[in-house]
A = this chain, B = another copy of it.
Amino acid sequence: MSLRHAMLGLLAERPSSGYDLMKRFETSLTNVWPATQSQVYGELGKLAKAGLLEVVAEGPRGRKEYAITPEGRAELRHWLAETRPDRSRRSEMLLRVFFLDLLTPLEAVAYLSTEAERAASLRADLEQVKEQVQWDDGPLSVNGRLALEYGLRLSAMQEEWARWAAEQIGGTQAAEAGKS
């Protein structure tokens, strides 16, 4: 049930409408915890009914601004401090690696090279972000930098791994060819 906590976390920083919240998901959490519009509106209703959020203002176009309640903060803190992260790791990219022998070596190398390029391009994007964002030394900025650095290191590792893996297959192929 992490969607709920992601929302509580964002609203702990400042109150927002569902629409605002969606935009905040898209900008800061897309790569960490994506959410769809229907999910957000649905969960806002449930959280309000449960007393973890409350409507603090109503604006034009039926806009409802939600703020976290003390109960909501308690729940958020409980989640952060007293529960362990669920690490369910599902990686379609890696699943495909298990079946790479069903492709020709050429196709397999192409797959891995594409992965390497994708990682490299993500890394370049993140470097850009690192340059452009003003790191204003607020507490929020610290968290963001930690997460960004994770992304940087992950994409670097992925690129290196994919290039190495492509070479393993390319090398095997070359050796096989050499035998005959």
A→B interface (CB under 8 Å): 2, 5-6, 9, 12, 28-29, 31-34, 76-77, 80-81, 85-103, 107, 111, 139-140, 142-147, 149-150, 153-154, 157, 160-161, 164-165, 168-169, 172
A interface, by DSSP: helix, strand, loop or mixed? helix
Pairwise interchain contact B143-A94, C-beta atoms closer than 8 A: no
Complex Cα spacing A173 to B35, Å: 33
Which residue in chain B gives the minimum CB-CB distance to A8? B99
B149-A164 in contact (CB<8A): yes
* Chain B residues whose CB sits within 8 angstroms of the CB of A100 once the complex forms: 80, 142-143, 146
- Interface CB pairs A-B, < 8 A, 23: A5-B99, A12-B102, A29-B98, A33-B91, A33-B95, A34-B90, A76-B99, A77-B103, A80-B107, A80-B111, A94-B147, A94-B150, A97-B147, A98-B144, A98-B147, A100-B142, A101-B139, A101-B143, A142-B169, A146-B168, A153-B161, A154-B154, A157-B157
Cα separation A91 to B98 with both chains bound (whole Å): 22
Task: Indicate if the CB atoms of B89 and A107 lie closer than 8 Å.
Answer: no
Q: How often does this chain occur in the complex, in copies?
A: 2
Q: Which of B12, B95, B140 contacts A32 (CB 8 A)?
A: B95
Q: A101 to nearest B CB, angstroms?
A: 4
How far is B114's CA from A176's CA once the two chains are assembled, in angstroms? Answer: 45
Q: Are B9 and A99 in contact (CB under 8 A)?
A: yes
Q: A32-B95, A98-B147 are in contact. List 13 more A-B contacts (CB 8 A).
A: A9-B98, A33-B95, A76-B99, A77-B103, A80-B100, A81-B107, A94-B147, A100-B142, A101-B140, A142-B169, A153-B160, A153-B161, A157-B157
A9 neighbours in B (Cβ, 8 Å): 95, 98-99, 102
